[in-house]
Structure 1
């Protein structure tokens, strides 16, 4: 097997860097989960939107593993996992992508995972596993649990976007019979596993500054559903350069004369502070970042800037929840900061992501023409949402009791939560 284009020297550097990251994380009380999403490269969605990437399946192309075939897939994966854990024994957990987007064919999924689970049970039975719910058959979940593995099932909270801080009450009809996002049919009793909630904020808050403590407090409380004790959120810039060739020069966010930082992630200090602090203790009154805003912007401007950012941060989640075209579900396609949502006829065909809470524009028009509120059934009208855009969708911060201890932030995109 070969990772094409990577030398032994570079492999050694990569290994040392990951070992150092794990060590530094543990020194700070942070656990590290490795995300393993691709098991064999067969193109399609695995290409990440990079032009021509799907045509490289089965070829010796730099950046891809060459030599894995349908015949040696399971033996190679088991041997590779054993070696991976030998080299990184301090790893706390592994997250797996389970379905066909990982390269597996439908007929391969159950036997492949049975082999992998049996191997893990034999060598590392206490290693925590995070099994992604999308396309995950019940039989695979039961297999992991019956083998006694400490497995959690993880699912997207609200599309691959940042909706409002509550679980969608009734998702779009397109995905009501599968586990693409939200809790679907996962809340089963008697309970045998926990659900890990993934807030794919990277499809919504990518570039603009974001920091709403009210949102974080409410979200943390909802992560307790089904005895939940964990969630993750994409860090800012997680989707930067998504769909670009891997050797492409990174784009700069700000022109040189406007840069006030050494590293781009420093722009988003309040995002990290809000998620880190308030998911640890939702009761925190905010004094720490009030002081930080004052230090950064001065005694006159600090608090007004903080409040302006808090209010501005409510806009995108409200748009995603109330009036976002459902076809913009993927983080690879939907970008609420930039998308114009198509032409007027295209936008008029939008269905929305929570069809229980929000009326779509066609239903609104029909209600107006017929002079009837029958279609509304208590749902929020688009016109009312537009008028309310000057008022927060939630005006008072939720105050869950006690520390939540839930937070987990993913870096470098959706995989590899740390």
Structure 2
């Protein structure tokens, strides 16, 4: 090892070698048998390493193994790969050369301090941090984001705030010279303890090669709305707010030198009204800039405008916008082809200046990448995967994780932060001391702040497949074998398809963009029947607030239910995926998962607590899949009945809904005495509770449908309506896209027809800008080629293009191209950049 080279002798490289030595010792192998040497490419020219940060190669030279990289993170990846192989029982003497490079530059995990009652224990637990951060590093994450103040939305939380510990962080950490700002009840000793802990977390993150990102998601010192704060902030007012925060951020960065970057929620929910927000934020940014070291300033993209981008333009600051990937949920890996109509821009009404930019003029930035992906942009963009879909149950699908690895750099984006399991547990003052662990059954509990260890496999898949979406399955199967023994393959084969269900449901059933209003995992029932009111969902979905009226989160790729039935009735069915196709996909996923689950139950060592935890969660996921598949089918039938008055369709709705309901009702019995009766992720109706709580509303909905059937007067079955064209088994075309387009010049796109049943196609295209609508142009057939052009006026833009095709077949069916693959992990459209070099 070259002692003069910081790449091979720095703290991350040293730490990684310590992990390898420990792994060898645990197997009774002396370190240095064979010796492992760290080197840079200039020391080992034969390495032929690509000039991509965090790449590494493993070489054999004489009797030693050489880990080669240009940087410490690459060294860490290579050395920990060797340590993982040792832990799995492999002999390093048999190591053959290999190399890897990262697909995604930013691969982050977010953990939120949401509850003084449930989170204080892990926050101050050094043993927890040692084990947890080590697993993140071994999983190849390169960023850790500790979020403070994210659990409340200033000006949006109907009941104000109670548990405000660390929300307005500065007075919980230190005194700021020249100000007498206090968090009541927090003395100097507690401040020092908090600051020391923050320093420790930052330093231990950096030691493991994780950039440390501190999220200061709230800058409100008083939440208003008659909030009764547990730790009232005193000594501050409107006249001193900005200057205090400017001084506070400078002191924080000075006291904690291992902070690499800061994340801010810069719209009104972070405590600063939208109107003239740039004045406050300029002061904060100047405070950060004054420390004199390079810092990443991550601005949550919702509501960002040019005034904020101008305010952050300071010499030591590198701004980046972080957009939501699929609203506040976990969806499929691709980025929604379009946002819901509800998210389009709107004029700012008088009196709504506090949230005018976020909720009105730039509303389209709320739940996606908005208009931030211009090729000439001056600020980078990354994504954040929010925790609305699944917070509690085990998750693990290599296909979906690899899809995120391929698509998190969409449009030249930098990567992704993933909100971890149990996110927001205890939010909105709902926490209780000792209740962070959701288990109540003694043999399943994970005491000592180790509840995160249940999800090791999920962290591993996210991290390793974001780094390399083409990683060998052995990458994760080593862990499965060590955890589940003979049942490892069956657990993998069950968990993979079952983990795909809720992200699919989220994408298609876009009933609420907010994570505190929509939780598919413990689903608060939205009725099918038009006779049942649903006040809970009315605020975040278009009327009517029932299943038929819900828009998908991607209404370009998927039909809503009433929309689908209207298209059937009008004989205007397009190539979009239908709710019945979605139901079929879910049923297939359930069948595959159920088959593997039976095998896992037969072979697993059920005396092991982690095995039991996994098998219970798999049982729940099977029932959730059956419930949602049945409900999609029932909702389509009901919509047909409402359109045609065909009573047989209403009968069919009940035939599908009853077994769906019965599947959901099986869940409370499975989890009886296993999980807390009130799983508290907040105080709103769908943020807490239990599966058993949801059953009565399902029964009310069923009863309403049954009552409608009793009252209905029969008509002839709508046979013609039900005979929808069948989607072709293949699109019947092939496409090779151009390498790029020249701005201001037409670009011609063509399809090669390989199926004689293809009779035509339409090109759909738009800029990579979610504020703009899709354009369509019919394609012309010449011989065996379909072609269409995007005109030069449209390409005269600094945005990349995105496009797909709808292909018509002779029998009447249509297909999307490229469409979604069987594993739902690809991108159903093509993105095309310009060949113009940006200035």
Alignment RMSD (CA, Å): 2.2
Q: Which moved more, 1:119-128 or 1:10-19?
A: 119-128
Query: Cα 1:391–1:349, aligned 2, differ >3 Å: closer, same or farther?
Result: same
Select the structure with the greater relative contact order (CA < 8 A; seq sep ≥ 6): 1
Between the aligned partners of 2:340 and 2:222, the Cα distance in structure 1 is 29
* C-alpha contact (below 8 Å) 1:95/1:131 kept by paired residues: yes
Residue 20 (structure 1) aligns with:
200
Residue 292 (structure 1) aligns with:
479
Query: Cα 1:124–1:341, aligned 2, differ >3 Å: closer, same or farther?
Result: farther
Post-superposition Cα deviations, 1:144-193, rounded to whole Å, max 9, x if no partner, equal 23667310011101110011110000010111332102111111231212
1:204-283 aligned at under 5 Å gives the runs 204-245=389-430, 249-250=434-435, 252-259=437-444, 261-262=446-447, 263-283=450-470
Point out where structure 2 has 5 or more consecutive residues left out of the alignment. 1-180, 346-362, 531-545, 590-819, 828-839
Q: 2:517 aligns with which of 333, 344, 352?
A: 333
Which of the two has greater strand per residue? 2
Q: Secondary structure at the match of 1:358?
A: coil
Residue 209 (structure 2) aligns with:
29
Is structure 2 residue 548 aligned with structure 1 residue 351? no
1:10-409 aligned at under 5 Å gives the runs 10-43=190-223, 54-56=225-227, 61-124=229-292, 126-145=294-313, 149-177=317-345, 178=363, 179-200=365-386, 202-245=387-430, 249-250=434-435, 252-259=437-444, 261-262=446-447, 263-299=450-486, 301-325=487-511, 328-344=512-528, 345=530, 346-370=546-570, 372=571, 374=572, 376-391=573-588, 394-395=821-822
* Post-superposition offset of 1:113: 1.6
* Post-superposition offset of 1:256: 2.6
* C-alpha contact (below 8 Å) 1:324/1:353 kept by paired residues: yes
Between the aligned partners of 2:222 and 2:513, the Cα distance in structure 1 is 23
Between the aligned partners of 2:402 and 2:212, the Cα distance in structure 1 is 24
Q: How many equivalent residue pairs?
A: 381
Query: Cα 1:147–1:196, aligned 2, differ >3 Å: closer, same or farther?
Result: same
Between the aligned partners of 1:80 and 1:338, the Cα distance in structure 2 is 40
Between the aligned partners of 2:434 and 2:235, the Cα distance in structure 1 is 29
Between the aligned partners of 2:301 and 2:343, the Cα distance in structure 1 is 13
Query: Cα 1:258–1:350, aligned 2, differ >3 Å: closer, same or farther?
Result: farther
* C-alpha contact (below 8 Å) 2:222/2:233 kept by paired residues: no
Q: Which has the larger radius of gyration?
A: 2
* Post-superposition offset of 1:397: 8.9
* Post-superposition offset of 1:247: 5.5
Between the aligned partners of 2:257 and 2:271, the Cα distance in structure 1 is 26
* C-alpha contact (below 8 Å) 1:4/1:63 kept by paired residues: yes
Query: Cα 1:20–1:125, aligned 2, differ >3 Å: closer, same or farther?
Result: closer
Q: Which moved more, 1:163-172 or 1:98-107?
A: 98-107
* Post-superposition offset of 1:354: 0.7
Query: Cα 1:143–1:252, aligned 2, differ >3 Å: closer, same or farther?
Result: closer
* Post-superposition offset of 1:119: 3.3
TM norm structure 1? 0.85
Q: Secondary structure at the match of 2:342?
A: helix
* Post-superposition offset of 1:330: 0.9
Query: Cα 1:239–1:245, aligned 2, differ >3 Å: closer, same or farther?
Result: closer
Point out where structure 1 has 5 or more consecutive residues left out of the alignment. 45-53, 401-418
Between the aligned partners of 1:156 and 1:219, the Cα distance in structure 2 is 13
Between the aligned partners of 1:84 and 1:98, the Cα distance in structure 2 is 19
